[in-house]
Structure 1
Amino acid sequence: MPFLSIIVPTYNRAHLIKKTLISLLDQSFQDYEIIVVDDGSTDNTEEVVCSLQSPKIVYYKIVNGERAKARNFGMQKATGKYINWFDSDDLALPHHCETIHDAAQTAQLPDIIRVNYELYNPITKKRKRIKHKKDIRTDILKGNSFGTASVIVKRDIALSNPFEECRNLSASEDYELWLRLVSKYRFTCVDTVTNLLVEHKGRSVRTMSGQHDLEKRFLTLIHFALSNPETTFMIGSSKKYFLMRNYLVLSVDLAYNRHKKKAVTYVWKASKQHPLVFFQRVFWATLKHLIF
Structure 2
Amino acid sequence: MPQTSPPFPAAGAPTSEPAARASRLTKVYGRGATQVTALDTVTVEFERARFTAVMGPSGSGKSTLMHCVAGLDRATSGSARIGGVELTELTDRQLTTLRREKVGFVFQGFNLLPTLTAQENMTLPLRLAGRRPDVAWSDTVIAATGLAGRLTHRPAELSGGQQQRVAVARALMSRPEIVFADEPTGNLDSRSGAQVLGFLRDSVDEWGQSVVMVTHDPVAAAHADRVVFLADGRPVDELREPTSGAVLDRMLALDTERRHAS
Fold match (TM-score > 0.5): no
TM-score, length-scaled by structure 2: 0.27
Q: Which has the higher strand share?
A: 2
TM-score, length-scaled by structure 1: 0.25
Bigger RCO of structures 1 and 2 (CA < 8 A, at least 6 apart): 2
